Amino acid sequence: MDDFILEMNHITKEFPGVKALNDVSFNVKRGEIHALVGENGAGKSTLMKVLAGVYPFGSYTGAMMFNGAELQFTGTRDSEKAGIAIIFQELALVKQMSIRENIYLGSEFQKNGIIDWDATFVAASKVLHEVHLNRNPLTKIIDLGVGEQQLVEIAKAVSKNASLLILDEPTAALTETETETLMQILRDLRAKGVSCIYISHKISEVAQIADRVTILRDGRTIATDDVKNMSEERMINLMVGREITQRFPRVEHTPGETVLEVRDWTVYDKDLPTRKVIDGVSFNIRKGEILGIAGLMGAGRTELAMSIFGSYGVGRTGELLLNGKKMVANSPSACIEKGVAYLSEDRKRYGFIAMMDLCGNITLASMAKLWKNGVIDGNEEIRRTEQYVGDLSIKTPSVEQKVGNLSGGNQQKVVVGKWLMTHPKVLFLDEPTRGIDVGAKIEIYNIMNQLVEQGVCIVMISSELPEILGISDRILVMHMGRLVGDLSWKEATQEKVMYLATGGK
């Protein structure tokens, strides 16, 4: 008999009109890392919210056993007390506070409301050591990298003696090294008997770290098995429910003439005007090719794209030539007018407007061009929006749906649609497939290939090496604000790109 720390049996959760979970059973053994995978909308988050008490007992049917006792949570505090800690994709840390304060937020060392800071400091140092975060507990969260922030979250869970840790897409914003560190910590915790539910879109990571995996699709459990019995392809096929023959649909492109030439481009940090974030970068973007830009976090890839798009600080030198002519564009609106578009890596913050409908979002960047005298033609707007909804196969009940209600993949397609409507000549895509599921990723790749055939130049920034290698025709590698490599896809390998990206000559 296996020793299960958690058993969720026959969980069904309905929302008006939708069965988000349909008789899902899911269990975790003590001291295992159990991966939970599935496309966006498969029900992973809903299942975890049931487990965390976000949806209280009674709002779903089915039963949960934790450490042999039945769980009936009325709120998230109950699950915390029981020893379940969830680390969401969006980190819930107070940025202006120190690591020490964050770890013990809500469970301070206190007597009569007076906090014992020394005890807090000692305890915080201890848990930080456990998660291999070599930082002073007095450091403010705002001064930490994303990876380090994640570790603080884990430290917080460790400090509460959580026996079940749930990580939702923990590596979405992490570099390779940071991911390695995280994996090691999870293994350490496993050795100490802490169980972990690991939610991820990155199948390779699942194969690397998890002991068992459960696959959800359309609110149902499709399979649960030992990871060693499953190939990556099989997991993906089970997730999407169809055979995926090609994760990266490669189409041969023949590069044409240079459309955008970047010459000796130098950009200064917007907060530290003496520091160069981009240092003398020169390259060409040619018609009919997908240009991939690889590099580690902090290499300056996003700053490069944003500065070309006129939306990063003011200190920049060098010149841009669009179709051989000098391009002067210091603002996003000027760039859009000239045919340069930039899809941000952070779609929630920079991409879409959650409370606006699809019409408003998709036409947002083209309004000045569409409605010359400032008056919107409502019917025409719907007609044009529907064209992109159709072309990009955005799944939505209506174009008057608020974008905040769509799934991540569809939100990304809305943002893609917004930029396509501006008819760009050069389209920068910054992490275009971050946080979206495999099926939607392939759709995005297909859209990119179609655009290239239509003569649009695509520059794709990505932290996922397989994606860079699988889709790009040419790969630029950046390291510390400099361009350190320019490889064709045929000569590029993971090792070569990583070698250059980490500063190897």
Partner 1 sequence: MENVNSKTVTQPQNSPGGNWRNWMRVNVRQYTMILALLLVWSIFTVLTKGIFISTRNLSNLFLQSATVAIVACTMVLVMVAGHIDLSVGSAVGFTGAVVATLITKASWPTLLAVPVTLLLGLVIGLFQGYWVAYVGVPAFIVTLAGMLIMRGGLLGVTGGNTISPNSELFRQFGQGYLPQLFIKVAGFNDFSALIGILAIILYNISALRSRRGRIKHGFAVSSPRRQMLIQVSMSVIIALVFSIMVFYHGIPYAILIVMAMVLIFSFVSQNMTFGRYVYAIGGNKDAARLSGINVKKTNFLIFVLQGLAVAIAGIVYTSRLNAATGGAGTGMELDVIAACIIGGTSTMGGEGTVFGAIIGALVMASLDNGMSLMNLGVVYQYVVKGAVLLIAVAVDVSTRKKQ
Binding span for partner 1 by CB under 8 A among 78-86, 113-121, 275-283, 329-337: 329-337
Q: Which is nearer to partner 1, 360 or 481 (CB)?
A: 360
User: How many residues make contact with partner 1 (CB under 8 A)?
Assistant: 43
For partner 1, which residue of 88, 109, 371, 499 counts as binding (CB under 8 A)?
A: 371
Measured in whole angstroms, the distance separating CA 12 from the mean position of its chain's CA atoms is 28
Among 58, 113, 375, 490, the residue binding partner 1 under the rule CB under 8 A is 375
The two three-digit tokens of residue 65, written as one number: 């056993």
Residue 459, interface with partner 1 (CB under 8 A)?
no
**Minimum separation from the CB atom of position 387 to partner 1 (A):** 11
Tokens found for residue 155: 């430290």
Can you name the residues that pair with 216 across neighbouring β-strands? 221
Interface with partner 1 (CB under 8 A), residue from 311, 407, 449, 502: 311
Cα 383 to Cα 387, 397, 403, 417, 418, distances in angstroms: 6, 15, 17, 14, 14
End-to-end CA distance of the chain: 55
Give the angle 106-112-113 at the CA atoms, nearest 5°.
40
> Smallest distance from the beta carbon of 22 to partner 1, in angstroms?
19
**291 is written with which tokens?**
């240009």
Q: Is 367 in the site for partner 1 (CB under 8 A)?
A: yes
List CB contacts of 314: < 8 A, sequence separation 6 or more.
270
Closest approach of partner 1 to the CB of residue 416, in Å: 13
**105 Cβ partners below 8 Å, 6+ apart?**
94, 97, 156
Cβ of residue 366: shortest distance to partner 1, in angstroms? Answer: 9
Element of type H or E holding 342: strand 340-343
Q: Is 146 in the site for partner 1 (CB under 8 A)?
A: no
Question: Among the candidate windows 182-190, 384-392, 452-460, 481-489, which touches partner 1 by CB under 8 A?
Answer: 384-392
Q: What are the DSSP E strand ranges found in 152-253?
A: 164-168, 195-199, 212-217, 220-226
Q: Does 335 bind partner 1 (CB under 8 A)?
A: yes
In the complex, the smallest distance separating the C-beta of residue 329 from partner 1, rounded to whole angstroms, is 11
Decide: is 355 part of the binding site for partner 1 (CB under 8 A): yes
372 versus 490: smaller Cβ distance to partner 1? 372
- Shortest distance in whole angstroms from residue 3 CB to partner 1: 40
**396 touches partner 1 by CB under 8 A:** yes
Which residues within the stretch 416-445 sit at the binding site for partner 1 (CB under 8 A)?
A: 418
Compute CA distances 73 → 20, 76, 401, whole Å: 19, 7, 33
Indicate whether 336 belongs to the interface with partner 1 (CB under 8 A): yes
Closest listed residue to residue 21, CA positions, set 52, 60, 56, 66: 60
Residue with tokens 């009919």: 288
Q: How many residues does the chain have?
A: 505
* Shortest Å distance, C-beta 42 to partner 1: 18
Q: How far is the CB of 256 from partner 1 (least distance, A)?
A: 27
| The CA-based dihedral angle spanning residues 462, 466, 471, 477, taken in that order and rounded to the nearest 10 degrees | 50
Minimum distance from CB of 175 to partner 1 (Å)?
24
76 binds partner 1 (CB under 8 A): no
| Per-residue binding letters, 191-230, with partner 1 (x by CB under 8 A) | ----------------------------------------
Is 397 among the residues that bind partner 1 (CB under 8 A)? yes
Compute the least distance from the CB of residue 327 to partner 1, in Å: 15
Residue 58 as a binder of partner 1 (CB under 8 A): the answer is no
> 3-class SS at 74?
coil
Which residues pair with residue 86 across a beta bridge? 166
CA dihedral (235, 241, 245, 250) positive or negative: negative
Cα–Cα distances (Å) from 307 to 147, 292, 382, 428, 436, in that order, read 25, 17, 33, 12, 26
| Interacting residue ranges for partner 1, rule: CB under 8 A | 309, 311, 331-333, 335-337, 342, 344, 349-356, 360, 364-365, 367-368, 371, 374-376, 378-380, 382-383, 386, 389-390, 394-400, 418
